[in-house]
Amino acid sequence: MDVQAIKRTFGIIGTDPELDRAIGIAAQVAATDLTVLITGESGTGKDVFPKIIHQNSARKHGQYFAVNCGAIPEGTIDSELFGHEKGSFTGAVNERKGYFEIADKGTLFLDEVGELPLSTQARLLRVLENGEFIRVGGNKVMKTDVRIVAATNVNLPLAIERGRFREDLYYRLNTIPIHIPALRERKADIPLLFRKFASDFAERNHIPAITLTPDAVRILENYRWDGNVRQLKNVTEQISIMETDRNITAETLAKYLPNRVQSNLPVLLPHEETPEGMSERDLLYRVLFDMKKDIAELRAQVNNMSSGHPVETTYVPSTPVTQIGNTVVTHVSHDEPEVTEQEYAEILPAEDAHYSGLSTGSTTDNLSLEHHEKEMIIRALETHKGKRKDAAKALGISERTLYRKINEYGINL
């Protein structure tokens, strides 16, 4: 079956060369029993390709199962995939066949395979290597002849580097790689998909189909579409039901396209989002440079106060959020909750050798400034009855800088 015939059979819309290449690879590999790994962002339509492979293979009359590995709890995933024996765990009142047993002679699609626990990955590797598995709670080695097609939106090489995915399993799964391009990489296909979704929705609901003005088409093509085809379909259906005017302008379309607004709240970013090429030491140095700026600012303000000059009390944090490994160091504003000394000490241990060289100025100046700093900090704390948040605001410094200076000078009120 050629690419165009496959598109008609499975309802695939688009003329993008990378999409056609992915379909061609799926059709070519279908006749074999090789394991296939499908990669691509969420919402790109990865679930269609295992069906293409199965329907064009010698196993098309066998069972086809799709398993969302990320949706099954870790405690039951082994039972779902490999089955279990009666009494193997609480609630196992009967023996149960797993997908590998049921799908024998057929195809098993493991969606979101990157979410599998490491223990389950080891079991899966054994199946891929010799077709053997053992039910949970059992001791009998069982055989299966099943074709594995896996898919993920996780960066598996990065997951391997961080110990979250087995390297040997990755190479077993990645025998034949198929990458599905993101929708923003298929700009010419976006209006085609919009028309298809609008037509299908109109037919189902017995209403006129919506159309787009030329300026609306340009906005549609240039939008990022982080949710890919799934998001485009959702937006199309929203507009189809909400708008009475069936000719959609750019202004109308823009109301349904979410803006990518960044939150000012401190958020713990997933480990995968650490900038590539940025080591934990590099991130630590970034924090240290920000600290150095805070110290220089504090010294200048104390010097101004000692000279009788007015002090600018506005503090602008240099970096809202910085992540060091699994720890997020947040430069707080005066409106944010107070942090404890223990939390601060865990983030910035005083004995760390990397914190040397942060002071500025000559030794004599440092001694003088340190004396004034300590006095001003003590005075501010006494004035505000030990309330460090208020004292930090009065000094015109960040609360974290105040904690650091209290620890440095051994101030105990």
Q: With a cut of 50, which residues of the chain have pLDDT below it?
A: 260-279, 313-339, 341, 343-365
What is the pLDDT at residue 413?
66
pTM, rounded to two decimals: 0.63
What is the pairing mode between strands 64-68 and 107-111?
A: parallel
Q: Which of 50, 55, 22, 2 is nearest to 189 (CA)?
A: 22
For residue 409, the SS3 value is helix
What is the pairing mode between strands 211-212 and 64-68?
A: unpaired
Q: Per DSSP, what are the bridge partners of residue 64?
A: 107
Q: Which of 270, 408, 261, 403 is nearest to 332 (CA)?
A: 403
What is the pLDDT at residue 285?
52
Q: List Cβ neighbours of 47 (8 Å cut-off, separation of 6 or more).
A: 66, 109, 111, 151
What is the pLDDT at residue 168?
96
What is the pLDDT at residue 127?
95
For 119-122, which contacts have Cβ atoms below 8 Å and span 24 or more sequence positions? 119/78, 120/74, 120/77, 120/78, 120/81, 121/165, 121/166, 121/169, 122/166
Q: List Cβ neighbours of 363 (8 Å cut-off, separation of 6 or more).
A: none
pLDDT digits (tens, 9 = 90+) for 37-53: 999 999 999 999 999 99
Per-residue DSSP letter, 312: -
Q: What is the DSSP string of 61-126?
A: TS-EEEEEGGGS-TTTHHHHHH-B-TTSSTT--S-B--HHHHTTTSEEEEETGGGS-HHHHHHHHH
Q: How far apart are CA 221 and CA 218, in angstroms?
A: 5
End-to-end CA distance of the chain: 81
pLDDT digits (tens, 9 = 90+) for 188-205: 999 999 999 999 999 999
Q: Per DSSP, what are the bridge partners of residue 108?
A: 65, 148
| Comma-separated ranges of CATH 1.10.8.60 domains in the chain | 185-254
What is the pLDDT at residue 75?
85
What fold does the segment set 3-181 form as a domain? Rossmann fold (3.40.50)
For residue 27, the SS3 value is helix
Token pair of 273 as six digits: 């989002």
| Comma-separated ranges of CATH 3.40.50.300 domains in the chain | 3-181
What is the pLDDT at residue 316?
46
Q: 185-254 in CATH: which number?
A: 1.10.8.60
Place of tokens 């050629």: 2
